[in-house]
Structure 1
Amino acid sequence: MNGVELFLLGRTLMKIGETAMPEPEGGSGRYGGSTRAVLIVASDVAAHPDSAVGEIASRTGLPQSQVSTSVARLKEAGAAITAPDPADRRRLLVRQAPELSARVMKVRAGTIEDALAAALADSTPEDRKEVADALEVLARHLSPRTSARARTRDKAPQ
């Protein structure tokens, strides 16, 4: 597998993940680009608690305005909290909420079986189990926190 194939696989997995999530509240249809940004920010916040919006924007490559909007949506959903930075009261630090909101619990309670079956329409149940098991292995090794540790190690002086 090369970098392009890995990138395309990642996009396919994102689409399957979007299909597996429950419909957004308010009947606004499937997830759009702005919701993807919220998920990217939520993942970064999980890996880097107490980060400022500018730091999240730098790590994710999203515009600062989009990160700010995503943080507001996460706060509204009860998934994140903010607090003033003690070192610079003008900045807000973002972290995951200590308690899961009903919306977050609903999203996390969903499973991928139906979305995976749809994506692998011509596959056998054994094939789908093999793919699901492989995804579990990838999730264990490549979680946002694991990826953050790898990036931190890469930047450490040798």
Structure 2
Amino acid sequence: MNAVQLFLLGRTLMKIGEEAIPGGGVGKRTTSTRSVLIVMLDVYAHPDTTVGEIAVRSGLPQSAVSACVARLRETGSVVTATDPRDRRRTLLRRNPELSDRRAEVASASIDGALSAALGTSDPAELAEVVALLDALAQRLSPEVLARLTPDASDAPAV
């Protein structure tokens, strides 16, 4: 496998993951699932952060980060607080309560999206691929990014 093949595999896996995330009840949104996940993971990794700080770390436009934060607040995934040092700033953090939406996404199965991507519904083949993905996920968790470059630990897991 070369670098381009690895990149394309990662892109394919992201698309399958996006397809597996349930969209019911969320309604029409201007933000992509990918952007929302990048912002959510950044907030979870950097409690008491701001929209501007997330924009710098993620490379997303501040307007996109604001839209993602609004969506995450609506679904109960993040909460806000006024910065006690500068009352003009709003701080973001993970909601300690598990919202219905977060529970729904966390428990979503990948079987349907994976089956569609593979073009098969054979349970043995799906189980084999899921086992391979589980093994890969254990070895290549988002924490390994810190070993790539000094700044990679601040980069969102995309």
Q: TM-score range by the shorter chain?
A: 0.7 to 0.9
TM-score, with normalisation over the residues of structure 2? Answer: 0.79
1:45-79 Cα distance to aligned partner (Å, 9 max, x none): 22222222122111211001111111111011000
C-alpha distance in 2, partners of 1:100/1:109?
12
Aligned residue among 70, 75, 78 for 1:77: 75
C-alpha distance in 2, partners of 1:84/1:91?
6
1:3-49 Cα distance to aligned partner (Å, 9 max, x none): 32222212211211122122231554xx8753321121112222222
Question: Equivalent residues in 2 for 1:40-119 (5 A)?
Answer: 40-119=38-117
C-alpha distance in 1, partners of 2:46/2:148?
11
Cα 1:53/1:142, change in 2 over 3 Å:
farther
Report the alpha carbon displacement of residue 152 of structure 1 after superposing the two structures with TM: 9.8
C-alpha distance in 2, partners of 1:138/1:95?
29
Matched letter for residue 154 of structure 1: P
Residues 1:15 and 2:15 aligned together: yes
Report the alpha carbon displacement of residue 141 of structure 1 after superposing the two structures with TM: 3.8
C-alpha distance in 2, partners of 1:79/1:104?
6
Structure 1: gaps of 5 or more residues? none
TM-score, with normalisation over the residues of structure 1? Answer: 0.79
Q: Describe the SS at the equivalent of 2:71.
A: helix
RMSD, matched Cα: 2.6
Structure 2: gaps of 5 or more residues? 152-158
Aligned residue among 130, 150, 155 for 1:154: 150
Cα 1:32/1:10, change in 2 over 3 Å:
farther
C-alpha distance in 1, partners of 2:6/2:53?
26
